[in-house]
Amino acid sequence: VRHDGPSLATDGVTVAFGGFKALTDVSLAVTPGAVHGLIGPNGAGKTTLVNVLTGFQAPTRGAVTLNGRDVGALSAHELRRAGVARTFQAGRLFSGLDVLDNLAVTGVGLGHTRRAAETEAFRLLDWMGVPHLAERPAAGLPYTDERRVGIARALMFAPAFLLLDEPAAGMSEAEAADLAALIVRVAADLNTGVLLIEHNVGLVLSVSHHIYVLDAGQVIEEGDRDVIVASKPVRDAYFGADQEA
Ligand code: ADP
């Protein structure tokens, strides 16, 4: 796959753990200003792919590129500095700090003054519609708020690309709908390239411009919502090849 213009991409990536291939020859691209979905059954390799795209896992073969430059050897820290941020399934917030400080710490780590970091943190919470969370202790936050703060913290890096790992896990349908609206705004208003990894396939289909389906470490389908919904390989992967509906 060749990509002109900005993208976070893999080209023929294989990841082997011993003799077992978690990913085989995976090529995909995330582009600015759009939401990309990544779905697939348990064990398909979604988390491994996120780890490869964020520098937590080196590919065994193939390339990871950021705006055309090979970044396969960069650490997670270096990739984040280069504009690739992620959220984690568990919030990973500093439990002893309030929400604003959780975000401000990230800004200070990037070299901003304390005051500038706090201003930016508050601006972000306000943009997300949760300014009231600023002084709340991170410990004991309701689950959905913790998720939102996790996304806010990732956005403190002003990333060109943002990878969301199961952000809707444990949410009600109404909460997931709020999250979906936020994800759309992150892509549309901030021009961020978003990769959304989710078990909630309905959520992925509703917000993604382009969707990749992984099964047993391989991309078995990609395309827009209509392509995915109509795909026999996708149906087979989810429901079993011998169970025709
Ligand atoms: P998903 O996120 O789609 O559920 P994963 O990427 O977590 O899938 O896992 C894909 C496959 O790779 C699974 O069979 C898993 O057991 C295996 N796997 C993942 N990480 C490792 C590892 N560090 N060592 C060995 N096997 C792994």
CATH of the domain at 223: 3.40.50.300
Q: How many domains would you assign to the chain?
A: 1
> Token digits for 234?
């996708």
- Express each pLDDT in 185-205 by its tens digit: 999 999 999 999 999 999 999
Summarised one tens digit per residue, pLDDT across range 53-70 is 999 999 999 999 999 999
Residue 109 lies in a domain: no
C-alpha of residue 122 to centroid of ligand 1, in Å: 37
Q: Exposed/middle/buried for 96, CB within 10 Å: 0-12, 13-18, 19+?
A: exposed
Q: Nearest C-alpha to atom 21 of ligand 1 is from which residue? A: 17
pLDDT of residue 238: 86
127 within some domain? no
Q: Specify the pLDDT at position 58.
A: 95
Instruction: Report the pLDDT averaged over residues 134-163.
Output: 94
- In ligand 1, the atom with minimum distance to the C-alpha of 42 is 4
The protein residue whose alpha carbon is closest to atom 12 in ligand 1 is: 22
- Tell me which residues have their CB closer than 6 angstroms to ligand 1: 17, 20, 22, 40, 42-48
The pLDDT tens digits for 21-52 are: 999 999 999 999 999 999 999 999 999 999 99
Ligand 1 mutation target, pool 48, 163, 204, 215, most atoms within 8 A of CB: 48
Sheet bearing 35-39, strands edge to edge: 84-86, 161-165, 193-197, 35-39, 210-215, 218-223
**Rounded mean pLDDT, 139-164:** 94
**245 has pLDDT over 50:** no
Domain that holds residue 83: 8-93+165-239
In a domain, 191, yes or no: yes
**Domain assignment of residue 3, yes or no:** no
Residue 139 in any domain: the answer is: no
Alpha carbon of 183 to ligand 1 centroid (Å): 26
**CA atoms lying within 13 Å on the CB side of residue 153:** 27
Q: Residue of the nearest CA to atom 14 in ligand 1?
A: 43
The pLDDT tens digits of the residues spanning 73-127 come to 999 999 999 999 999 877 688 889 999 999 999 999 989 999 999 999 999 999 9
Ligand 1: atom nearest CA of 45 is 6
Specify the residue with its C-alpha closest to ligand 1, atom 6: 45
Task: Count CB neighbours of 216 within 10 A.
Answer: 15
In three-state form (DSSP H/G/I as H, E/B as E, the rest C), the secondary structure along the chain is: CCCCCCCEEEEEEEEEECCEEEEEEEEEEECCCCEEEEECCCCCCHHHHHHHHCCCCCCCEEEEEECCEECCCCCHHHHHHCCEEECCCCCCCCCCCEHHHHHHHHHHHCCCCHHHHHHHHHHHHHHCCCHHHCCCECCCCCHHHHHHHHHHHHHCCCCCEEEEECCCCCCCHHHHHHHHHHHHHHHHHHCCEEEEECCCHHHHHHHCCEEEEEECCEEEEEECHHHHHHCHHHHHHHHCCCCCC
Residue 125 lies in a domain: no
Q: Measure 123 CA to ligand 1 centroid, in angstroms.
A: 38
Centre of ligand 1 to C-alpha 216, Å, is: 10
pTM, two decimal places:
0.93
- Flag whether 34 is in a domain: yes
Whether 244 is in a domain gets the answer no
